[in-house]
Amino acid sequence: MQEALIERLKQEIRYEFAREGPPEGFPKFPDIPAGRYRSHEFYDLEMKHFWPRTWLYATREEELPEPGFYQIWDHLGIQVVLVRGEDSAVHAFLNSCVHGSPLLDVPDDSDLFHWKEFDSAGNNLQYQQEFPRRKLPDGVFRCPEEGHLYDFTTGRFIGDKAGIPDEKRSISELRCESWDGWIFINRDPDAEPLLDWLHPLPEQMSMFQGAKLRMIDKRWTIIPCNWKVTVEAFQEVYHFKHIHQKAGVSGLDQRGATMGVLPNGHSRMITPLSKRAAEMTGMDNQLDWRVDLDRKSFGASMEGMAEISTVNGMTRCTSTAFSAFPNLITPVSATGMPFLLAWPLDVGTTRFEWITFCVDWGDAPSPVTSEIWQQRLNGFDIVMEEDTRNMAPMQKSLNSPGLVGMPVSYQERRIWNCAEQLDRMIGPERLPEDLRVPQLLGPYVER
C-alpha cells in the first residue's frame, strides 16, 4: 500500500472524527427495498444472471501441488473439479460428463470434521484442520456411463474419435485464475481477467505476501438469512460499540472509521483503535501507526506466531478489512487473515464460512494445535458469534410485510456500493422497478 494512500486515510479519519453530518453534496440514499432480501423472483435473477458471471474464491494453489491433484468445489448448486494440469496451471471443469453424470464423487471428509456449540440459539459450528490432498486415481477423467476418457489438462476426449459427436469430445471448462496463491473461478467465458476485476485490492493487499501463506483452518455454520444480510453485516461499523464491547468498553472507535468505495463493488474499511486501546498499546495517539509497538497489553500478542514482516503500521494499529465483491470479506493482520464467505443455499438461508490463512510452515507439523493458535481461532469464533447473532432476527424483520425498505446512511455506503454492482450485473432492465436501486456512487468510487 502506497504511503500517499496511508496519509490520505489518516486525513479521512481526522475528517470522520470532526464531521457533524454527511459531506456536503453527498447523495441521500433511498431505502434499499426489503424485497431484495426476501423475494424469490429477485433470488432467481441472482442465480441466473449474477452468480454465473462473477469471480468466486475456490481454493489455494498449494492445495493442488502436482499434476493430477484435484479438489471438488460444491456451491451454488453446481460442482466444479479443480485440478492441477500437466501444464502446471490449475484448471476448473464442471463435475459432469457429457451425459450429466458426475465425473468424480464428492469425497467424504466427515471423519475430519469437528463440531462445537456456536451460539445460545443451538446452532453448531463445524470446522476442519486437516486437508487431504487427492490425486486422480487413473490420471484421467472417466465418463461413468460409457467409459469415455478425458484429459485432465484440456478436458478433451482421449481415444478414437470416430463416431463421437463434436459436442461429446470435451467436458465443460470454466475460467480459473489466481491472485497471490488464491484461486478463483468464473462461469462467464467473457469475464474480465481476475486481477483487473479485483483492482485495486491486489496492490493494496500486496504487503501480505499472499503467495507465501497457507490455509490452517476452515469453519462454517448455517444461518437462516439471505446471503446479502451476512455480507452487509461486515460492511458497517455501528455494531462495533454494541456487539463487540466488553463490560461497556470497545477496543475500536467507530466514529473515525473511513470507508473506501472501490470499483466493481469492492471496498475497504479502516477503523482506528479507541483512545484507551491506543494508550494501552503504547501509541501516542489514535493515528500513531508504527510497526514496532508492543500489542501484548491490548491482548493481541503475536508471540509464537510467524509474522508477515512487510505488513505496515496502519494495519497493525487499526482494524483493517477489505471486501471483494460479491461475498468475500477479509479482516487482515500481521499474522495472516481469514476469508469470510457467504454462500446462498436458498433465498433465506446462507452457508457462512471463514477460512484462516497464515505464514506457510513448510514441512513442519501444522501449528494449528498449538496453544497460541487455538486461542486465536477460538477467540475469533467469539467475534463471529457476536457478528452473526443478529442475522436471523434481521431476516425476520426483512420478511415482515410491514418493512418496505431498509435505511442506509453515508457511513454504510459500502452496502450501497454492493447493491449498485449487483444491479449492474443482473441488468437493471431485468429487475422489477420496485426492487432496483439508483446508481448514485459513481463520483465517489476510487479509480
User: Is the omega angle on the peptide bond into residue 407 within 30 degrees of 0, that is, cis?
Assistant: no
For 278, how many CA atoms within 13 A lie in the half-sphere containing its CB?
20
Section 71-94 average pLDDT: 97
Convert the pLDDT of each residue in 378-414 to its tens digit. 999 999 999 998 899 999 999 999 999 999 999 999 9
Banded pLDDT at 140 (limits 50, 70, 90): very high
Q: Where do we find the cell 474499511?
A: 269
Q: What percent of the chain has pLDDT over 70?
A: 95
pLDDT at residue 305 is higher than 80:
yes
| Within a domain: 233 | yes
Residues listed for the chain: 447
Domain for residue 177, yes or no? no
Q: Which range (59-68, 95-104, 228-237, 368-377) has the least confidence?
A: 95-104
Is residue 130 included in any domain, yes or no? no
Cell of 68: 493430477
Judged against a pLDDT cut of 90, whether residue 162 lies above it is answered with no
Model confidence pLDDT, tens digit, residues 219-267: 999 999 999 999 999 998 877 666 766 655 678 999 999 999 999 999 9
| Assigned domain for 159 exists | no
Residue ranges making up the domain that contains 349 = 1-51+209-439
The Cα–Cα gap between 87 and 107 comes to 25
pLDDT score for 298: 44
Q: Residue 111: which pLDDT band, with cuts at 50, 70 and 90?
A: very high
- 106: in domain: no
In a domain, 384, yes or no: yes
Q: Do the domain assignments include residue 82? A: no
Residue 357 belongs to a domain with what CATH number? 3.90.380.10
* pLDDT tens digits along 431-442: 999 999 999 999
Average pLDDT on 146-172 reads: 85
The total number of structural domains that make up the chain: 1
3-state SS string for the chain: CCHHHHHHHHHHHHHHHHCCCCCCCCCCCCCEECHHHHCHHHHHHHHHHHHHHCCEEEEEHHHCCCCCEEEEEEECCEEEEEEECCCCCEEEEECCCCCCCCCCCCCCCHHHEEEEECCCCCCEEEEECCCCCEECCCCCEECCCCCCEECCCCCEEECCCCCCCHHHCECCEEEEEEECCEEEEECCCCCCCHHHHHCCHHHHCHHHCHHHEEEEEEEEEEECCCHHHHHHCCCCCHHHHHHCCECCECCECHHHCEEEECHHHCEEEEEEECHHHHHHHCCCCCCCCCCCCCHHHHCCCCCCCCCCCCCCHHHHCEEEEEEECCCEEEEEECCEEEEEEEEEEECCEEEEEEEEEEECCCCCCCHHHCHHHHHHHHHHHHHHHHHHCCHHHHHHHHHCCCCCEECCCHHHHHHHHHHHHHHHHHCHHHCCHHHCCCCCCHHHCCC
Distance between CA atoms of 156 and 189, rounded to whole angstroms? Answer: 17
| 242 lies in some domain | yes
What's residue 247's pLDDT? 57
Dist CA 145 CA 101 (whole Å) = 7
